[in-house]
A and B are shown apart, each in its own frame.
Chain A
Amino acid sequence: MVVSNFDKRLLIEQIRYMETEHPLACDTEEHFSDHNVHKDFEDRLWLRAQRLVEQHNLSLMLGRAAKLSRYVKMFIFFMAALLGALGSIYAITDNHTINIYWLLLVLLGFNLLSMLLWLTGIGLNIKGLTSGMLARLTSWLPEHLKSKSQTTDAGNDKNGMPFDKAWLDCHFSGAVGKWQLSKITHQLWLVYLFTGLLFLILLLMVRQYDFVWGTTLLSDSIFIKMTDVLSVPLDILGFATPSADLVQETRIGSLPSDTAQTLTVEHRYHWAQFLLGSLLCFGIAPRILLWSWSVMMYRRAQNLFTLDHYLPYYINLRQRLMPLASHGEIVDADTSPLVIAETQVKKPLPHALPVETQWVAVELDDNMSWPPPSIHMANDLGQVINRESLTLILQRLQGNRRPVIAVAVSSARSPDRGVQRTITSLMSNSAQRWLVLLKEHVDEPVSSTRLAAWYRLAEACDVPADHLITMIME
């Protein structure tokens, strides 16, 4: 079964209304966000909505509004049919003489008025005029439901009220609502007119009526002219219509009673045809036209019905169902997980360095000038910044037998394996090993993770804890 776009969107909206009040968990959501599914956003929303319906067993609740509205519609159609039938019967059954223009006014007058109002309403886009009572009802009902659902919320977790409200909102608001109401209005009038016509034919078939007309205020010529004008389309359609003489003769009291008897058969036939033709031509036919137009516009409005993708609800779902990126696939895994030994961060006690200490700086920050004034030039071996400088310093160290080595580093920088290797090679042949953490000034913040990393490095390089000291560069 092909589901129309409107029905898909309706279901999605119903789920949105529900989820705005009670979030629903979807067990297979990841599946819909799979980029290999190759569906657009709304298709994914629909698939997800369908899954939710299945998972939470919502189909009964979802269909409730539609089912209810079908019953209501059937009921009002029945009422319209009843009114049409009663209208016809009451208009002509009380006596055997029918006032032809009065009857036309009764059957078509209100219809015409309502049609004019509807056209004005559509033309000027005034909701209240297009469908009268129906529009009132449909604008009141959702509000009513809303307040009702708020009051019943506390007790019942999943009543279907949001579904009903969504259904009503989708069907009876905006362009869809306008044409939906127009469609129903025309249908109602059609039912009314058809049953009216049917009962009229039945009555005219089995009973004999005399047709007359009369006026108190207007002149006779107006009626004769009007009949002529009304007859033009009827003639074309092949209905027998009364001639000018015949109209004149039907005027109440225009003929002596004896001749009336001879003319009445023709009279009756022509007037009955005129009556039925007028009903068809001026009542039913325009309504059918307007109804088909409304149906057309209704379908168009349904096709144009869109979801507001800018609502936070949809934005959120888009992020979940259509992620811009995916991650988490490890392609080259770590085979030997890093074990970070817990090192206690203790502020080392200041300790005096031997006078003959040889100083080497390793990868200092740009803003630290090496050597600082406190270190004698003769004791400074230089700074390691690349392979060449390391080689040079190592060569210098070789001339020294088991020296006391102090390696100075920026405490704010993070040590890596290269730094560790460099320091190890510098200290390899030393009698005493010192690691000096340089700080630019006393208040320079150093994160505890950085400090911990330096402590670990000192441990790895066999620097005793009391040989790990902090020095201020100022």
Chain B
Amino acid sequence: MTESKQESSYPTINIAVVGHTNAGKTSLIRTLLRDDQFGNIEDTAGTTRSVEKSVIFAGDDAVLNLFDTPGFEDSSALLKALEDLSKTVETHLPADLLRGFISQTEKFPDFEQETKVLRQSLNSDVLLYIIDVREPLLGKYSDEVEILSMAGKPILPVFNFIAGNDESLKRWREQMARFNLHAALEFDTVAFDFEAEKRLYQKLQSLLERHYGTLQTLIDYRQEVWKGLVHAGAQRIFQLLTQVACYRREVAGKDGISDADVTSMQDFVREAEQLALRDLLTIFAFTQRDVDLQQLAVRDGQWELDIFSPRALKDFSLNTGATALKGAAAGAGIDLMVGGMSLGAATMLGAALGAGWATLRRYKHELVAAWQGHKWLCADDGTVSLLYLRQRKLLRTLTQRGHAAQNKIQLSDNVEHALPKRWHKVVKVLRQNPEWQHNKSSGLEYQQIQTDVINWLTSDEKVA
């Protein structure tokens, strides 16, 4: 405890995010903050024109101060001005030259933006130098690095827009090595999962030995929060699956299942999925912009493909049976095997002890319905399975922000269409316990199923 207290008393780490104009400085900060409201991003030079500070916290401790700076626009002229200045002023350290330059800003009105970058660089612990690797290796970029190194601060080059640009990335790596900048980070504002974020902090750890512990605290904290989000997402999906699998609607016997019954069931499923989608997007703080980036079939918080459309089933290579299009199944009566299983040993024992009415009560609707010749309408296996696969894919895309951007074909290839081994058994048990639809149960079996489904949703292993 004392150790962590000491660490938290360390000053916050100041990070200046610098680079050429339009290299993606603001994008990097947005991604790190997981906040797409930060700053302005535009396709023209000089979008960011002031230095803006953001703070990243671990709990209540401010750990990082991120400074978004204006981009360099004319580093060659700036370097020339600095060289001219060095001839007139005598300085010991290159940083003094920068300070000297900053103190005479009125002489260099053209460099108003650059002066802000220099001032912030001098006041920071480390510089993140953002590079758009698609750019050619121009002299102005070398000049930027030369100017920045005068500040005497560690520089971490961050390669942006790396997707599909391996050759350029290699050239840029060699270029940075010429400046003795060997530790660098590959980063893609679109393809950015937690592991990528962690790598950034780890690189900073190696550059800022003094702040090693603080950064570790931050990594651990962000990891914990991230795990929590993934778990929350999976739990929400489990809730949706339970709602749909436990859905039942009594249908009067003689006429069989009418279209109105089926429609009402379908509407229920659609609405439930919609609510879950909304919650998942909220959990991961996503907006339509992110949804577009991830190439998700979601528009204005609505799935573009209806769950009951034939294509939806086909997309996930699920067998399309005769009833599949309607997604309805005539309700199972009392499945004693499953019933016995779901009632659990304790209740069975209770029944044996003379509290048999608990069993009776559990099945009273079924018994009455059987007697009256009524039937149940449920969501069929295909619908529940499709729901599972679709939500699993959604969760994956939301958590691994980026496979979409690195290689566009990868996304659909990446999704496995296999259901877990025990899947159909679980659906059966859920269907036999309609009371779970709205209420969580503290029963062992319910808890076990919840744990299993959450594991299936979050585990990375391929299921047979």
Contacts and interface: CB of A to CB of B under 8 A. Distances in A.
A386 B80 CA distance: 12
Contacts of B140: 363, 386, 418
Interface string A301-331: 0000000011110011001001111111111
Nearest to A177: B442
A417 interface: yes
B84 to A, nearest CB: 13
A389 interface: yes
Contacts of A325: 32-35, 54-57
Contact of A418 (B43, B52, B75, B229): B75
Interface residues of B, number: 71
A450 to B, nearest CB: 6
B25 interface: no
Contact of B139 (A121, A329, A386, A452): A386
Contact of A129 (B22, B57, B350): B350
A330 B51 contact: yes
B179 to A, nearest CB: 15
A175 B347 CA distance: 17
A312 B283 contact: yes
A210 B3 CA distance: 79
Given A124-B350, A325-B54, A414-B22, A385 B49 contact: no
A191 interface: no
Interface stretch (A152-160, A334-342, A435-443, A462-470): A334-342
B112 A335 contact: yes
Contact of B53 (A37, A309, A329): A329
Contacts of A27: none
Interface string A199-210: 000000000000
A306 B116 CA distance: 49
Interface residues of A, number: 62
Q: Output the residue of B33, B54, B283, B358 with the most chain A CB within 10 A.
A: B283
Given A35-B62, A120-B353, A126-B350, A365 B136 contact: yes
B43 A449 contact: yes
Interface string B110-141: 10100010011000000000000001101110
Contacts of B232: 309-312, 315
B146 to A, nearest CB: 11
A386 B119 CA distance: 25
A340 B43 CA distance: 14
Contacts of B355: 126, 128-129
Nearest to B29: A327
Given A124-B350, A364-B136, A418-B76, A332 B235 contact: no
Contacts of A332: 50-51, 116, 119-120
Given A35-B60, A324-B225, A418-B76, A126 B112 contact: no
A415 B42 CA distance: 13
Contacts of B67: 331
A336 B50 CA distance: 10
A57 B387 CA distance: 42
B82 to A, nearest CB: 13
Contact of B142 (A330, A366, A386): A386
Contact of A324 (B33, B77, B116, B235): B33
A401 interface: no
Contacts of B79: 387
A316 B119 CA distance: 38
A73 B283 CA distance: 41
Interface string B176-198: 00000000000000000000000
Nearest to B55: A326
A447 interface: yes
B208 interface: no
Given A128-B350, A326-B55, A338 B138 contact: no
Given A126-B346, A387-B76, A310 B55 contact: no
B77 A35 contact: no
A421 interface: yes
Nearest to B229: A315
Interface string A382-413: 00011111100000000000000000000001
A453 interface: yes
A346 interface: no
A447 B59 CA distance: 42
Given A38-B60, A385-B139, A327 B52 contact: yes
B282 interface: yes
B222 interface: yes
B44 interface: yes
A210 B391 CA distance: 78
A390 B120 CA distance: 30
Interface string A415-439: 1111001000000000000000000
A414 B138 contact: no
A173 B441 CA distance: 9
A124 B140 CA distance: 77
A350 interface: no
A125 interface: yes
Contacts of A415: 45
B326 interface: no
Contact of A331 (B51, B60, B139): B51
Nearest to B48: A334
Contacts of B235: 310-311
Interface in B61-84: 62, 67, 70-71, 73-77, 79-80
Nearest to B33: A325
Closest 7 CB pairs of A and B: A386-B139, A332-B51, A327-B54, A418-B74, A312-B279, A417-B73, A310-B232
Interface of A: 35, 37-39, 120-121, 124-126, 128-129, 146, 173-175, 309-312, 315-316, 319, 322-338, 340, 363-366, 385-390, 413-418, 421, 447, 449-450, 452-453
26 contacts: A35-B55, A35-B57, A38-B60, A120-B353, A175-B442, A309-B232, A310-B228, A312-B232, A316-B283, A324-B225, A329-B53, A331-B120, A332-B120, A333-B50, A338-B46, A338-B49, A364-B136, A365-B136, A390-B76, A416-B45, A417-B45, A417-B73, A417-B110, A418-B73, A418-B74, A449-B44
Given A124-B349, A331-B53, 17 more contacts: A310-B231, A312-B236, A315-B282, A326-B55, A327-B54, A327-B55, A329-B54, A330-B52, A332-B50, A340-B44, A385-B139, A386-B138, A386-B143, A387-B139, A414-B21, A417-B110, A449-B43
